[in-house]
Structure 1
Amino acid sequence: MTVHFRLALAGFFLVLSMPALASPAGHYAFGQPAAAASATRTIEVHMTDMAFTPTSLEVKAGETVRFFLVNKGQLLHEFNLGDAAMHAGHQKEMLKMQQGGMMTPTGMNHENMDHAAMGHGASGEMKHDDPNSVLVEPGKTAELTWTFSQADNLEFACNVPGHYQAGMVGTVKVGP
Structure 2
Amino acid sequence: MRLHTRTLNTAAALLTGATFLSLIGTAFAGAGEPGHGHATAAIGEPAKASAAKRTVQVELGDNYYKPESVQVKAGETVRFVLKNKGEFLHEFNIGTADMHAAHQKEMAMMMEHGMLTATGINKNMSGMDHSKMGMAEMKHDDPNSALVGPGETKELTWKFTKDTALEFACNMPGHYESGMVGKIAFTR
* Shorter-chain TM-score tier: 0.7 to 0.9
1:126 is aligned to 2:141: no
In the alignment, what sits opposite 1:171? Answer: 183
Query: Aligned residues, how many?
Result: 155
Distance 1:89 1:132 in 2: 14
Please state whether the residue corresponding to 2:124 is helix, strand or coil. coil
Structure of larger gyration radius = 1
What TM-score do you get using the length of structure 2 for normalisation?
Answer: 0.75
TM value normalised by structure 1: 0.80
User: Equivalent residue of 1:85, what SS?
Assistant: helix
Cα displacement (A) at 1:116: 6.1
Query: 1:28 deviation in Å?
Result: 1.7
Distance 1:118 1:84 in 2: 31
Counting only pairs closer than 5 Å after superposition, residues 12-161 of structure 1 correspond to structure 2 as: 18-19=32-33, 27-112=40-125, 115=130, 120-121=135-136, 125-161=137-173
- Looking at structure 2, the residues matched to 35 and 104 of structure 1 have their Cα atoms a distance apart, in angstroms, of 30
Please state whether the residue corresponding to 1:159 is helix, strand or coil: coil
- Higher relative helix content: 2
Q: C-alpha root-mean-square deviation of aligned residues, in Å?
A: 2.3
Contact 1:100 1:118 in 2 (8 A): no
Q: Distance in 1 between matches of 2:173 and 2:66?
A: 20
Unaligned segments of structure 2, at least 5 residues: 1-30
Q: Identify which range, 144-153 or 162-171, moves more after superposition.
A: 144-153
Structure 1 residue ranges (4+ consecutive) displaced by more than 4 angstroms after TM superposition: 24-27, 116-119
| Corresponding residue SS for 1:29 | helix
Cα distance change of structure 1 residues 75 and 39 upon mapping to structure 2, 3 Å threshold: same
* Higher share in strand: 1
Q: What's the CA shift string for 1:56-106, capped at 9, x where partnerless? A: 110011111000000000000000000100000000110000000000111
CA contact (8 A) 2:40 2:144 kept: no
Deviation at 1:112, TM superposition (A): 3.6
**CA offsets per residue over residues 118-149 of structure 1, 9 Å max, x none?**
8614xxx1100011000000001000000102
Query: Identical aligned pairs, as a percentage?
Result: 54
> For 1:27 and 1:170, how far apart are their aligned partners in 2?
19
Asked whether the equivalents of residues 32 and 38 of structure 2 are also in contact (C-alpha less than 8 Å), the reply is no
Task: Give the distance between the partners of 1:25 and 1:101, measured in 2 at CA.
Answer: 22
Q: Which runs of 5+ in 1 are unaligned?
A: 1-16
Q: How many angstroms apart in 1 are the aligned matches of 2:40 and 2:181?
A: 22
50-59 vs 104-113, which moves further: 104-113
Q: 2: distance between equivalents of 1:141 and 1:119?
A: 34
